[in-house]
Amino acid sequence: MSLLSPTYRLTLGDQRIDMGSEPRASTVTQIDVQRAMAPLVDRFELTLAKLGTRLPKRGDTAEIELGFAGSDTGLERVMTGEIEEVDAGPEHTRIVGFGAGAILSRSKANHSFRDKTAADMISDLANAAGVKVADTETSEIFPTYIADARLSAFQHMVTLSELTGFDLYCDTENALIFKGFGNGKTLFPLDYGEDVIAYQVESTLAAAERVEAWGESPGASQGADSWAWLTKDFAPRKGSAGTSGSLRVLEHAALRTGETAQRAASALLRRIENRRIRGQLTVLGNPAITLGDTIRLQSMPEPDLNATFQIRGVRHRITKATGFLTHLTFQALELSL
How would DSSP label each residue in 36-101?
ESTTS--EEEEEEE-SSPPPP-TT-EEEEEEEEET-TT--EEEEEEEEEEEEE-SSEEEEEEE-HH
Please give the Cα distance from 7 to 161 (Å, whole number).
36
CATH of the domain at 314: 2.40.30.150
- C-alpha angle with apex 137: 335 to 127, nearest 5 degrees? 135
Averaged pLDDT of the chain: 89
- Work out the average pLDDT over 107-118: 95
| Residue 210 · residue 247 · CB < 8 Å | yes
* 3-class SS of residue 288: coil
pTM of the model: 0.89
Q: Which of 81, 98, 115 is the last residue before a domain boundary?
A: 98
Q: Which tops the pLDDT comparison, 191 or 50?
A: 191
Q: What band does 233 get if pLDDT is binned at 50, 70 and 90?
A: low
- Residue 38, pLDDT above cutoff 90: yes
pLDDT of residue 221: 45
CB crowding 45-56: b at 16 or more within 10 Å, else e: ebbbeeeeeeeb
Average pLDDT for 156-164: 97
pLDDT score of 219: 53
Q: How far apart are CA 57 and CA 289, in angstroms?
A: 30
Q: Can you give the pLDDT at residue 24? A: 57
Q: List the domain range (segments joined by +) for residue 319.
A: 187-204+276-336
pLDDT over threshold 60, residue 25: no
Residues 216 and 291 both lie in one domain: no
Q: Are residues 166 and 234 in the same domain?
A: no
Phi, psi of 41 (to 5 degrees): -110, 135
Least confident of 222-226, 241-245, 270-274: 222-226
DSSP state of 279: E
232 and 300, same domain (yes or no): no
DSSP label at residue 283: E
Please give the pLDDT value at position 22. Answer: 67
Label residue 237 by pLDDT band (50, 70, 90): confident
Considering the domain architecture, whether residues 192 and 331 belong to the same structural domain is answered as: yes
- 232 and 291 housed in the same domain: no
- 200 and 308 fall within a common domain: yes
pLDDT tens track for 196-230: 999 999 988 888 999 999 887 555 444 444 444 55
Res 330 pLDDT > 50: yes
199 & 317 share domain: yes
Tell me, what's the pLDDT at 320? 85
Contact call for residues 9 and 18 (beta carbons, < 8 A): yes
pLDDT class of 272 with cuts at 50, 70, 90: very high
Residues 195 and 290 in one domain: yes
pLDDT for the residue numbered 53: 64
How many domains would you assign to the chain? 4
- In this prediction, residue 150 carries a pLDDT of 95
Clarify whether residues 290 and 280 are in a common domain: yes
Q: Beta strands 111-117 and 141-147: pairing type?
A: antiparallel
Q: What is the pLDDT of residue 335?
A: 42
Burial of 323 (0-12, 13-18, 19+ CB in 10 A): middle
The C-alpha atoms of residue 121 and residue 142 are separated, in whole angstroms, by 10
Biggest distance spanned by C-alpha atoms of the chain: 81
Q: Does residue 274 contact residue 165 with C-beta atoms inside 8 Å?
A: no
Tell me, yes or no, whether 94 and 137 share the same domain.
no
- The CATH number of residue 117's host domain is 3.55.50.10
Measuring CA to CA, how many Å separate 13 from each of 36, 40, 195?
A: 24, 25, 35
- Give residue-wise pLDDT tens across range 275-318: 999 999 999 999 999 999 999 999 999 988 999 999 999 999 99
Report the share of the chain in percent with pLDDT over 70: 90
| CA atoms within 13 Å, Cβ hemisphere of 19 | 21
pLDDT band at 113 (very low <50, low <70, confident <90, very high): very high
Within 13 A of 277's CA, how many CA atoms are on the CB side?
A: 17
CATH of the domain at 86: 2.30.300.10
The verdict on 19 and 153 lying in the same domain is no
User: Judging by DSSP bridges, how do beta strands 176-179 and 167-170 pair with one another?
Assistant: antiparallel
Query: Which of 33-47, 50-64, 108-122 shows the lowest per-residue confidence on average (mean pLDDT)?
Result: 50-64
| Domain end residue (candidates: 224, 251, 274) | 274
pLDDT of residue 55: 83
> Helix, strand or coil for residue 272?
helix
